Amino acid sequence: MSGFETNVSNYSLDTDYFGTSPMSFERTTMDILDSRLHPYPKEFRKVPLWEASLKIFVYSLMILVSVIGNILIILVVAKNKRMRTTTNYYIVNLAASDLLVTLSCTWVNLVSDLSEGWILGSFFCKVNSFAQVTSVVSSILSLTLVAYDRFFGIVYAMKAHIIERSAKYSLIVIWVFSITVALPMVLFRRLYERHWKNHVELWCDDDWSLGALQGTSEPTEAFHRPARMTYYTIICLILFIFPIVAMIGAYCGIIRTLWLNKIPGERLTHDISGQMKMKRKVVIMLILILTVFSVCWFPLQISILYSEYRSDPKMMGEWYDTFYFLARTLAFSNSAINPIIYAGFNENFRKGIKSMCGCYKKPRWTAIARIDSFRSTTLTATSKIFNKKKFSVQETSLIKNNFHESRDHHKMTVAT
């Protein structure tokens, strides 16, 4: 028999935020009855071999790119002191969050989709959910601080040093807050099991306090849990939608400053013009990161809110399982896309990655412009000169001295 066989309910599934937990077929009723006397009331469906192979290939590629890419991003910043800027600290934090998602959630979603029920045990039942909430909150807070790091660095440059000094402490606060928000997943998440006559049903789900539906006086476990609804609403709206709206406002202010406002003076010097172009490129990269993050995670937030607020609590619709799996896949793919964006839009990251792979030879004397932090160092690049001709030590020293004398003379001329 070709293909994988997995148990899939013919009935609607009340799938929770982080796993494939069938809230079960009339749980209250079946708990009263002895399920051991009844056969498993769900049909089997065959997952074609081509479908399983395609999913395994896509997820393997996602995991490989995410792990290698994010580790390289972290190592590039760790080994290069000039890359240790405020913005890059937050990018490293974002890479760490992406690694957490990849190592704790991505492969779990694939195994859960291809296996019969929840086969990973109670430990991963808790860890998978805890890691996903922690990483989502950490990522959104890192992106928010990156946006306002650039906002104050460009729009209110005089106040930039205040945020720069607190960058390292902000990272600690991000992780403490993210872990605190995710703690309910450790406290209320557990593995359920039910024994049928011909099958043992396993699923991972939340164990929240129960509430009564309108028109009833008894709590209905499977369909109404107000504490869970409140918790997921806070994650989706307050910790996802609202920060994105705030970031859009920050980047609108940045765009207005860099593209629309004219800097006083008859014309820009070559150095200032170069800095402006590089700042714009960094901002474009950050806006793209925010856009990709929003697009990747937004469908999952929609599926969560729909699951909690749907009008008929007993019906999810046949389309929901497919949509939910695709939404989670798209969300986890964000961890693999981010390193590609860093390398594609940031020359320093690109050079650092090439250097670590042995594909880039650092020039003897090159210019470094730290435009992605508040401290900017502007030097005129002379690496092209040295690449064209080999100079002696004396000739090299003479060229450097002439360069500095020319720059000092230009400053004196401007001052007078």
pLDDT of residue 322: 86
Do both 93 and 212 map to the same domain? yes
Closest CA to 306 of 66, 35, 15, 21: 15
Q: Is residue 350 part of a domain?
A: yes
CA–CA dist 275, 411 (Å, integer)? 18
| CB-based contact 157:253 (threshold 8 Å) | no
What pTM value is reported for the model?
Answer: 0.74
pLDDT tens, position by position, for the chain (416 residues)? Answer: 444 333 333 333 444 545 545 444 344 444 546 777 778 777 766 788 999 999 999 999 999 999 999 999 999 999 888 888 888 899 999 999 999 999 999 999 999 888 878 888 889 898 988 999 999 999 999 999 888 888 887 877 666 555 666 777 889 999 999 999 999 999 988 898 888 887 788 888 888 765 544 554 444 444 567 888 889 999 998 889 999 999 999 998 888 887 776 554 445 555 556 667 777 788 888 899 999 999 999 999 999 888 888 776 566 667 888 899 999 999 999 999 999 998 888 888 888 888 877 765 655 544 444 444 434 433 333 343 344 444 444 444 544 455 555 554 444 444 44
Q: Is residue 344 part of a domain?
A: yes
Do both 178 and 306 map to the same domain? yes
Q: Is residue 369 part of a domain?
A: no
Do both 340 and 408 map to the same domain? no
Do both 264 and 389 map to the same domain? no
Q: Is residue 366 part of a domain?
A: no
CA–CA dist 401, 197 (Å, integer)? 88
CA–CA dist 143, 139 (Å, integer)? 6
Do both 244 and 294 map to the same domain? yes
CA–CA dist 190, 81 (Å, integer)? 45
Q: Is residue 126 part of a domain?
A: yes
pLDDT of residue 57: 96
CA–CA dist 106, 113 (Å, integer)? 11
Do both 39 and 98 map to the same domain? yes
- What's the Cα-to-Cα distance from 352 to each of 23, 72, 256, 386, rounded to whole Å? 49, 9, 31, 21
Q: Is residue 46 part of a domain?
A: yes
Q: How would you write the chain as a 3-class SS string?
A: CCCEEEECCCCCCCCCCCCCCCCCCCHHHHHHCCHHHCCCCCCEEEECHHHHHHHHHHHHHHHHHHHHHHHHHHHHHHHCHHHCCHHHHHHHHHHHHHHHHHHHHHHHHHHHHHCCCCCCHHHHHHHHHHHHHHHHHHHHHHHHHHHHHHHHHHCCHHHHHHHHHCHHHHHHHHHHHHHHHHHHHHHHEEEEEEECCCCEEEEEEECCCCCECCCCCCECCCCCCHHHHHHHHHHHHHHHHHHHHHHHHHHHHHHHHHHHCCCCCCCCCHHHHHHHHHHHHHHHHHHHHHHHHHHHHHHHHHHHHHHHHCCCCCCCCCHHHHHHHHHHHHHHHHHHHHHHHHHHHCHHHHHHHHHHCCCCCCCCCCCCCCCCCCCCCCCCCCHHHHHHCCCCHHHHHHHHHHHHHHHHHHHHHHHC
Domain limit, last residue, from 340, 356, 372: 356
Do both 32 and 130 map to the same domain? yes
pLDDT of residue 22: 45
Do both 224 and 136 map to the same domain? yes
Q: Is residue 373 part of a domain?
A: no
Do both 220 and 293 map to the same domain? yes
pLDDT of residue 410: 46
pLDDT of residue 274: 65
pLDDT of residue 294: 93
Do both 390 and 327 map to the same domain? no
Do both 316 and 393 map to the same domain? no
Q: Crossing angle, helix 121-154 and helix 242-255, to 10 degrees?
A: 30
Closest CA to 13 of 271, 310, 289, 335: 310
pLDDT of residue 3: 41
Rounded to 10 degrees, the C-alpha dihedral 345/347/349/354 comes to 120
Q: Is residue 231 part of a domain?
A: yes
CA–CA dist 44, 395 (Å, integer)? 80
Residues sharing a CB contact under 8 Å with residue 290, sequence separation 6 or more, in sequence order = 143, 147, 244, 247, 248, 251
Neighbours of 99 (CB within 10 A): 19
Domain extent, residue 409, equals 383-415
Number of structural domains, the chain?
2
pLDDT of residue 41: 77
| CB-based contact 15:5 (threshold 8 Å) | no
Domain CATH code at residue 258: 1.20.1070.10
Do both 95 and 229 map to the same domain? yes
Q: Which residues pair with 204 in a beta bridge?
A: 191
